[in-house]
Amino acid sequence: MSGARGVQSTDQIRWLGAVELEDFWEGELIDVEVDGEKIMLAHLAENEIKAFQGVCPHQEVLLALGVWDPDSRILVCTGHNWEFDLNSGSGRNPAEAQLYEYPVRVVHGVVEVGIPQDGASHHNRCHA
């Protein structure tokens, strides 16, 4: 696996709108492109929103097309059934896989994703 787990601070972050909150329902996964980066947004229970790299670290299949259970928060990629915990982006099968997590916030009804301005890759890969 290469790349960082995700951004934890807001230093050198560019915040960009991704979707109107009223158009993004709880229990929904959507694929968006923000500042040239493919991102998957997950609207979890109690209005918690997470943003992860939009493609599987294995073979770059769009993750928003995967099968997921909003109660367990487990996403299964349709490519080869890799599983991810959307609480943290950590791999469950295989365990060494990790989704890159972007910071996310809601401002005036718009879901914004923070794009790091660090020149680094924001897409983890794993060849387990």
CATH 2.102.10.10 fits 13-116, yes or no: yes
Q: Is the pLDDT of residue 83 over 80?
A: yes
The pairing of strands 74-76 and 110-116 is unpaired
- For the chain, give the mean pLDDT: 90
Q: What is the rounded average pLDDT of the residues 40-54?
A: 95
Concatenated DSSP letters for 33-99?
Answer: EETTEEEEEEE-GGG-EEEEESB-TTT--BGGGSEEETTTTEEE-TTT--EEETTTTEEEESTT-B-
Residue spans of the domains in the chain: they are 13-116
Among 1-5, 38-42, 78-82, 89-93, which is the least confidently predicted range? 1-5
pLDDT of residue 120: 83
Q: Is the pLDDT of residue 123 over 70?
A: yes
